[in-house]
Chain A
Amino acid sequence: MQRFIKLLRKIADGVAGAMLATLFAVFIIQIAARYVFNLPVGWTQEVQATLWLWLVLWGAAFCLRDEDQVKFDLLYHMAPIRWQRIFAGLAAVSIVIAVAAALPAAWDYVDFYYRKRSAVLQVRMKWVFIIYIVFSVGLIVRYTLGLIAILRSPDAPPSRPSLHPPEEAR
């Protein structure tokens, strides 16, 4: 199980890295095409926007450790462990409920874009926006697992929901 999770983590990081590297490369192609070869290309902006959207949502759902997130954890760290568990539990419950409640509507929204195609590459926008659904499901699963972990070990400090073990933290 541990090895499986480690593998998943590596894949998630690799995918995010590949998206950023591709985004960077597409920019270089665009600049070279426009300024060096004087051949403006239209597809690059579409690819860039898609990769950026995917990078943010994929990264947030699968790559970010909880301590990577921007947050205000002053009170959290001052609180005794019992309260930390309550805080982490409350946060997890509200995220799971809110994201799950909005999921059907979000799906309708994304599905609606099946009819619309992108201007240059003629990709169905549904497949571009589908990453939001992946992100939502990823969040629900992660924070549900985090919640289960809190409930299971009544005395331990809450393990913040993350694919990444804490020792890797900066």
Chain B
Amino acid sequence: MSFAFAVCLAAVFGLAAIGTPIGYSLLVSATLYLAIDGADLALAAEQLIQSIYDGYTLLAVPLFIIAANIMNAGTISQRLLTFCVAVVGRFRGGMGHVNILSSLIFSGMSGSAVADAAGIGKIITEMMIKTGHYSRGYAAAVTAASATIGPIIPPSIPMVMYALISNQSIGYLFLAGILPGLLMGLVLMLMNWTISWRRKIPVEAPTPLRDAPGITIRAFPALMMPVILLSGIYGGATTPTEAAAIAALYALLLAVGLYRSLRLREFYRVVVESARQSATVGIVIGCALIFNYIVATERIPEALSNQMSELQISPLMFLLAMNLLILGLGCLLDATTIILVVLPLFVPTAQALGIDLVHFGVVMVVNAMLGLITPPYGMLLFVINAVTGIPLRDIIVNVLPFLGALLIALLLLTIFPDISLLLPRYFGYMG
């Protein structure tokens, strides 16, 4: 590691610690590095411009954002919830299961945990509280925990970012997320059932069977979204980026045409908000890629890889150590930063140890998503606190058992690569 890079690293941590936006901390530190190194200062501009301009797959990001926001603005979320109530509302802890199931379905559409929590999550949290059986903290905790599934089941913005830094196929990464996402849903439902049983939460009156067909028909077009999206990608018809555009168009058609729930004024608001969110993510990606360029010129990932292989560490030990590291970092850092800045350091090591990079990606993305609900810095905790007004303390206390359940799921995913690799292999992945 050169002197310039040591200064650069200190600057990143220093600036980020005092609350400078992460993107700009990276940009400033990279410029500082170039200055000390005597390199052309234009390299920062060049890396940022070229990586965004040439990053065609990244275009999926704004499109998935706009799709999620359209679904939240229209009544699509509402219809999905009615459907979920009809399906799992009858079991013990019913509304908790509804919350988790709706996250599973919604995550097949939006690709963003925050969109899940702020949209459908906000509605279901209020519904849970209204039944009078669940505390506010518990309702918010289930919403937070289940929102982490959003980016595991495709589509997924974090997986797009991982594909970018690891050169893996987005299509296979998306496929690899499906079973792990379902597993996460399963452990959360088990935990919800256990807690509801212990607290003797009464069972809700089941939705009458004669209403079921109507409810299903009303939700059907929305339920078709994941099917359209995935068959577009895996049928080979569209690129993942184009599939994202189709998803957004489909959401728009549903909201405007079929459900007549989105007015022009609101659509404008949705577009502007989506543009803002796209820029938020985009600038971090652009600046992180400048930083990654410097990390690569310094040959840091190779050095790490060599050191690790000298340690003769087993692949499983490496994965477990990585999990601990990312969980620790996840308590403090944003998932975007972890995936774009921290993971590139370790991808070569994982490869050298013979770990499948799709499996590695799924485990690391799941882990980074758990970081969204680990205090003190958990983005989902903040978002739910902001949209529902439920105190952070209450959410955090109640989210811990669910975090525990998700950690077990993470451990299973780490030890058994087949959970992630089964579907991609079925579709021709040679990993």
Q: Using CB atoms and an 8 Å cutoff, list the residues of chain A in contact with chain B.
A: 13-14, 16-17, 19-21, 23-24, 27-28, 30-31, 35, 45, 48-50, 52-53, 55-60, 63-64, 66, 68-76, 87-88, 90-91, 94-95, 98-99, 101-102, 104-106, 108-110, 128-129, 132, 136, 139, 170
Contacts and interface: CB of A to CB of B under 8 A. Distances in A.
Contacts of A50: 53
Interface in B380-412: 386-387
Interface size class of B (residues with CB under 8 A): 35 or more
Find the residue from B19, B42, B248 having the highest chain A CB count within 10 A: B19
Report whether over half of chain B's contact residues are helix, strand or loop; otherwise say mixed. Answer: helix
Contact of A17 (B22, B271, B376): B271
Interface string B19-59: 11111100110011011000011101110110011101011
A105 B41 contact: yes
A62 B22 CA distance: 17
B19 A53 contact: no
B82 interface: no
B49 A132 contact: yes
Find the residue from B34, B49, B334, B377 having the highest chain A CB count within 10 A: B49
B426 interface: no
A103 to B, nearest CB: 9
Nearest to A32: B249
B63 A56 contact: no
Contact of A69 (B21, B31, B54): B21
B17 A64 contact: no
B23 to A, nearest CB: 7
Given A28-B245, A94-B28, A95-B28, A59 B19 contact: no
Nearest to B379: A70
Contacts of A170: 386-387
B271 A21 contact: yes
A106 B53 contact: no
A160 to B, nearest CB: 9
A24 B63 contact: yes
B31 A31 contact: no
A88 B20 CA distance: 7
A70 B334 contact: yes
Given A102-B41, A105-B41, A59 B16 contact: no
Contacts of B48: 132
B18 interface: yes
A27 B35 contact: no
Contacts of B249: 24, 28
Nearest to A56: B282
Contacts of A20: 62, 66, 271, 274-275, 278
28 contacts: A13-B276, A17-B275, A24-B63, A28-B249, A30-B242, A31-B242, A45-B56, A49-B54, A50-B53, A52-B52, A52-B58, A52-B62, A53-B53, A60-B23, A68-B280, A75-B18, A75-B19, A91-B18, A91-B19, A94-B11, A95-B24, A95-B27, A105-B42, A106-B41, A108-B42, A109-B46, A128-B53, A132-B48
A20 B70 CA distance: 13
A101 B245 CA distance: 39
Find the residue from A75, A99, A106, A110 having the highest chain B CB count within 10 A: A106
B321 interface: no
A70 B278 contact: no
Interface of B: 11, 15-24, 27-28, 31-32, 34-35, 40-42, 44-46, 48-49, 52-54, 56, 58-59, 62-63, 66, 237-238, 241-242, 245-246, 248-249, 268, 271-272, 274-284, 286, 332-334, 336-337, 376-377, 386-387
Contact of B377 (A72, A109, A139): A72
Contacts of A30: 242
Contacts of A68: 276-277, 280
Given A71-B20, A72-B377, A73-B19, A101 B31 contact: yes
A47 B222 CA distance: 30
Nearest to A65: B276
A101 B41 contact: yes
Contacts of B45: 102, 105-106, 109-110, 132, 136
A59 B44 contact: no
Contacts of A21: 271
A16 B245 contact: no
B56 A88 contact: no
Find the residue from A52, A101, A136 having the highest chain B CB count within 10 A: A52
B35 A101 contact: yes
Contacts of A87: 18-19
A132 B387 CA distance: 34
B248 A17 contact: no
A76 B282 CA distance: 24
Q: What are the 4 tightest A-B residue pairs by CB atom distance, in nearest-first order?
A: A59-B279, A56-B282, A76-B19, A69-B21
Nearest to A133: B45
Contacts of B41: 101-102, 104-106
Find the residue from B11, B238, B242 having the highest chain A CB count within 10 A: B242
Given A49-B53, A70-B281, 12 more contacts: A19-B275, A52-B53, A55-B282, A56-B279, A58-B279, A59-B283, A63-B275, A64-B279, A70-B284, A75-B17, A91-B15, A94-B28
Contacts of B284: 70
